Amino acid sequence: MSINPKTLLLGALFLALPAFGMSQTWNHEGGTLKLDAPPKRIVALNWAATETLLLLGITPVGVADKTGYSTWVSKPELPDDVANVGTRVAPSLEAIAELKPDLIVTSTEIAPAHELLEQIAPTYVISVYKPDSRPFEKAREMLLVLSDILDREGRAKTVLANINQTLEQQRDRLDRANVTDIPIALVSFQDNRHVRIYTKDSLYQAALDSLGLTNAWPNHGNYWGFASIGLESVARIPNSRLVVIEPLVPGLADSLEESPFWTYLPPVRNQQIYQIPSAWSFGGVHQVKSLAVTLTDALLKGGSTNVR
């Protein structure tokens, strides 16, 4: 039986087509996403999604709370020309529609119902922070799924390999200095008497685990990964190092220096106070890498009796 050369050529061309030559579907928390081609114009409605897109080398056309991202997250850097589409809690549907996106990335807890967004563009719903989730694993899932949707799988593998390498390097630094023995209490000050303490449910826990460090706080927190406590509760974990995450409350350093209560705390008396730059505790995988580096640097530098 003879075979038409044109048939062979068409078959070869078909096999050579990229995977996106036909529609693909992805299941998500709001249903199913179906696309015929990798999207080009993407709107991100939370900072974890914004961070993830930037890690993949994709600049979104619009984000929620653009100014806040630059203040609290900062890295990866968001270009100035990205449009703001309102707040993360209540983004503007009109502003989103004006951008003519072909994909919207959102989560269930801080955005309008995805049905409204679906009327504008295909929508992918994934929540890094929700009850019983493991934030780092969920953030990693977001990176990998978005890389599949956007045809950036190679970039995602590079990002994760870089994070793993960085974590290994920081652990090696700490092991060689033999400074992993004392547990760590990670806190952000709310005022001079109250802190958020980051629990084993937090994104930060992935950094502690990778560095071979123990979280000093024994209790679980909310699904965002923290508990709000008074400083007196820190006194209940005497064998610990207190790591203070910036930004600080205005005037905090002066008020703590004048506080007899502060000077009573065991980490203060033991000169085990450490201060590190902010890493966004409700972000994606990059924040684990950022925290690991700054925490390692601080521990190797040595502690003090106050914040500055």
Q: How many CB atoms lie within 10 A of CB 161?
A: 10
Contacting residues for 2 by C-beta, under 8 A, at least 6 apart: none
Confidence at residue 28, expressed as pLDDT on a 0 to 100 scale:
87
Please report the pLDDT score of residue 22 as a whole number: 67
State which CATH number among 3.40.50.1820, 3.40.50.1980, 3.30.470.20, 1.10.645.10 fits the domain covering 162-301: 3.40.50.1980
> How much is the pTM?
0.87
- Amino acid symbol at 260: P
pLDDT band at 155 (very low <50, low <70, confident <90, very high): very high
Angstrom CA distances, 15 to 3, 178, 269, stand at 18, 56, 69
Cis peptide before 267 (omega within 30 of 0): no
Mean pLDDT (the chain) is: 88
Q: What is the pLDDT of residue 236?
A: 85
- The pLDDT tens digits of the residues spanning 12-53 come to 444 444 455 568 999 888 888 999 999 999 999 999 999 999
- The answer to whether 19-154 and 162-301 have equal CATH topology is yes
Single-letter amino acid code for the residue at 210? S
Reported as a pLDDT band with limits 50, 70 and 90, residue 303 is very high
pLDDT band, very low/low/confident/very high, at 89 (cuts 50, 70, 90): confident
Nearest to 170 by CA among 259, 293, 257, 47: 293
Structure confidence at residue 9 as a pLDDT band (50, 70, 90) = very low
- Averaged pLDDT, 7-15: 41
pLDDT value, residue 32: 87
Q: Which 3-state string (H, E, C) describes the chain?
A: CCCCHHHHHHHHHHHHCCHHHCCEEEEECCEEEEECCCCCCEEECCHHHHHHHHHCCCCCCEECCHHHHHHHHCCCCCCCCCEECECCCCECHHHHHHCCCCEEEECCCCCCCHHHHHCCCCEEECCCCCCCCCHHHHHHHHHHHHHHHCCCHHHHHHHHHHHHHHHHHHHHHHHHHCCCCCCEEEEEEEECCEEEEECCCCCHHHHHHHHCCCECCCCCCCCCCEEEEEHHHHHHCCCCEEEEECCCCCCHHHHHHCCHHHHHCHHHHCCCEEEECCCCCCCCHHHHHHHHHHHHHHHHHCCECCCC
Predicted local distance difference test score (pLDDT) of residue 21:
56
Q: Which residues pair with 106 in a beta bridge?
A: 125
Q: State how far Cα 112 lies from the chain centre.
A: 21
% residues pLDDT > 90 (the chain): 61
CATH number for domain 19-154, candidates 3.20.20.140, 3.40.640.10, 3.40.50.1980, 2.10.240.10: 3.40.50.1980
C-alpha pair distances (Å), 49 with each of 6, 12, 53, 69, 125: 46, 38, 6, 11, 10
pLDDT digits (tens, 9 = 90+) for 196-255: 999 999 999 999 999 999 999 988 888 889 999 998 888 888 889 999 999 888 899 888
Pairing of strands 241-245, 184-191: parallel
- Model pLDDT, residue 3: 45
Domain ranges for the chain: 19-154, 162-301
Report the DSSP beta bridge partners of residue 227: 197
Residues 93, 85 contacting (CB under 8 angstroms): no
